[in-house]
């Protein structure tokens, strides 16, 4: 039950963000700049900056995660290879 509630909350949050961003970018350019509704939205330049910042930040996080996983995987392979070489050296002696 908790997973359905969490999913519903995430869907509601994503829908609210999508609706807010859509209104901000598509409808607000047609509203007068002195209209009180303009106070609910940041300047339009942030409509481009914010997604670019989020994409760069997301790419950095995903790239860092993949790098850490690859480094750990290579360390495990190197340790296995070192153990195998050590055991082969013991068998020869």
Question: What is the C-alpha to C-alpha distance for residues 22 and 15, in angstroms, rounded to an integer?
Answer: 10
Structural domain tally of the chain?
A: 2
The whole-number average pLDDT for the span 12-22 is 97
Q: Are residues 8 and 37 in the same domain?
A: yes
Given a cut of 70, whether residue 86 has pLDDT beyond it is: yes
For residue range 31-74, list pLDDT tens digits in order: 999 999 999 999 999 999 999 999 999 999 999 999 999 999 99
Given a cut of 80, whether residue 12 has pLDDT beyond it is: yes
Q: Are 38 and 24 in contact (CB under 8 A)?
A: no
Q: Are residues 30 and 53 in the same domain?
A: no
Query: Residue 8 has what pLDDT?
Result: 97
Q: Are residues 58 and 26 in the same domain?
A: no
HSE-up (13 A, CA, CB side) for residue 78? 6
**Average pLDDT of the residues of the chain:** 93
Q: Which domain holds residue 84?
A: 43-93
Given a cut of 90, whether residue 22 has pLDDT beyond it is: yes
φ/ψ of residue 34, rounded to 5: -95, 5
Q: Are residues 51 and 91 in the same domain?
A: yes
Q: Are residues 19 and 30 in the same domain?
A: yes
């Amino acid at each position: 039950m908790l997973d359905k509630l969490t999913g519903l909350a995430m869907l509601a949050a994503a829908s609210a963000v999508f609706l807010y961003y859509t209104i901000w970018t598509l409808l607000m350019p047609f509203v007068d700049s002195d209209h009180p509704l303009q106070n609910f939205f940041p300047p339009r330049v942030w409509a481009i900056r914010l997604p670019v910042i989020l994409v760069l930040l997301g790419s950095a996080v995903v790239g860092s995660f993949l790098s850490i996983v690859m480094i750990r995987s290579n360390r495990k392979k190197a340790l296995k290879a070192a153990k195998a070489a050590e055991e082969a050296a013991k068998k020869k002696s």
